[in-house]
């Protein structure tokens, strides 16, 4: 299936960012790394990759708005389009040479997600989606699993490592998810976790306190692969809260039985 022209631009930007990320991986000891907040790091690679992505977007769509992790919100344009960018999702993994990180680019039109690219430069895996056109991995159609409940499922998650205020609530959800499932994976890139839900590699995913650039592309991938994404209450206010639950419709329903009672205690 031919990619939408906007997705082609996003793919070009993601691959260029991936080139920067991979070239720099041979010189990690020379990188300048700073701390944005507790356990939240940014390197010069993040900034270089983001600048390259923005440059490519601006060349093709100079009037579009951009929300990027490192450079913030450039919304001074009279446009219905917004690009949501995480140039390196999994910076801590990358800096430690733990092989799970990605480039994430989502595009909204009038507030609705329309296009998505998540690129794993290490494995050369390119996840793409456009609204109504399905989701693909390296050009091959992908679908969520057909699991009927949480029994024997493989789930992905992320720990609330930047903000401990919701840690007790999260640990309750973790305990409840562990009991029926076959295993829980915490790999460190929410964008890839969501892409893996879309590709059927895991049955479901949940995490707290994520940012729009962590989840924008992955949410559309899941939706276009036949899955659903909500917040802990079961609503679609995940961009406002940052709390995310994803899976096929039946798995999501079972996960919400765990997360919904806990949602009122979230900060």
Backbone angles phi and psi of 176, in degrees to 5: -70, -30
Q: Give yes or no for residue 147 having a pLDDT over 50.
A: yes
In CATH, which of 3.40.50.1370, 3.30.540.10, 3.40.50.720, 3.40.50.150 is domain 5-142? 3.30.540.10
Average pLDDT, the chain: 93
Per-residue model confidence (pLDDT) at position 38: 56
Beta strands (DSSP E) in 20-169 are 33-37, 40-43, 65-68, 72-74, 81-89, 102-109, 112-120, 125-130, 135-137, 140-142, 154-157
Portion of the chain with pLDDT greater than 70, in percent: 96
pLDDT at residue 57 is higher than 70: yes
**How many percent of the chain have pLDDT more than 90?**
82
Per-residue pLDDT tens over the stretch 95-136? 999 999 999 999 999 999 999 999 999 999 999 999 999 999
* pTM greater than the 0.85 cutoff: yes
Residue 93 to residue 122: CA distance in whole angstroms: 12
The strand pairing partners of 247, in sequence order, are 204, 228
Q: Which residue has the higher pLDDT, 102 or 29?
A: 102
Give the three-state DSSP class for 166. helix
The residues near 111 (Cβ < 8 Å, ≥ 6 apart) are none
Residue 39: per-residue pLDDT: 45
| Summary count for the chain: helices (H), strands (E) | 8, 15
Domain ranges of the chain: 5-142, 154-263
- Domain 154-263 = CATH 3.50.50.60: no
Give Cα separations from 188 to 11, 91, 92, 142, 185 (angstroms): 22, 9, 8, 22, 9
Q: 247 falls in which pLDDT band (50, 70, 90)?
A: very high
Q: What is the pLDDT of residue 76?
A: 67
pLDDT of 248 above 90: yes
Could you tell me which residue, 37 or 247, shows the higher pLDDT?
A: 247
Least confident of 118-122, 161-165, 175-179, 245-249: 161-165
């Amino acid at each position: 299936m031919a990619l939408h022209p906007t997705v082609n631009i996003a793919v070009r930007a993601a691959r260029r960012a991936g080139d920067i990320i991979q070239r720099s991986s041979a010189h990690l000891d020379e990188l300048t790394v700073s701390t944005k907040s507790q356990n939240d790091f940014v390197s010069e690679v993040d900034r270089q990759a983001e600048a390259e992505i923005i440059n490519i977007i601006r060349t093709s769509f100079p009037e579009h708005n951009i929300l990027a992790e490192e450079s913030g919100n450039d919304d001074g344009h009279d446009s219905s389009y917004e690009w949501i960018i995480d140039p390196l999702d999994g910076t801590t993994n990358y800096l430690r040479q733990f092989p799970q990180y990605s480039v994430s680019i989502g595009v909204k039109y009038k507030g609705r997600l329309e296009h998505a690219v998540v690129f794993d430069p290490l494995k050369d895996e390119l996840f793409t989606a456009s609204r109504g056109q399905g989701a693909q991995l390296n050009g091959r159609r992908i679908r969520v699993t057909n699991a009927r409940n949480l029994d024997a499922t493989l789930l992905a998650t992320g720990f609330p490592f930047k903000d401990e205020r919701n840690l007790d609530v999260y640990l309750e959800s973790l305990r409840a998810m562990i009991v029926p499932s076959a295993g829980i994976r915490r790999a460190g890139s929410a964008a890839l976790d969501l892409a893996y839900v879309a590709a059927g590699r895991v049955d479901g995913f949940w995490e707290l306190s994520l940012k729009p650039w962590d989840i924008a592309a992955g949410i559309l991938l899941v939706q276009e692969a036949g899955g659903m994404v909500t917040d802990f209450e079961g609503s679609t206010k995940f961009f406002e809260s940052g709390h995310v639950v994803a899976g096929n419709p039946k798995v999501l329903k079972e996960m919400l039985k765990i997360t919904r009672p806990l949602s009122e205690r979230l900060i």
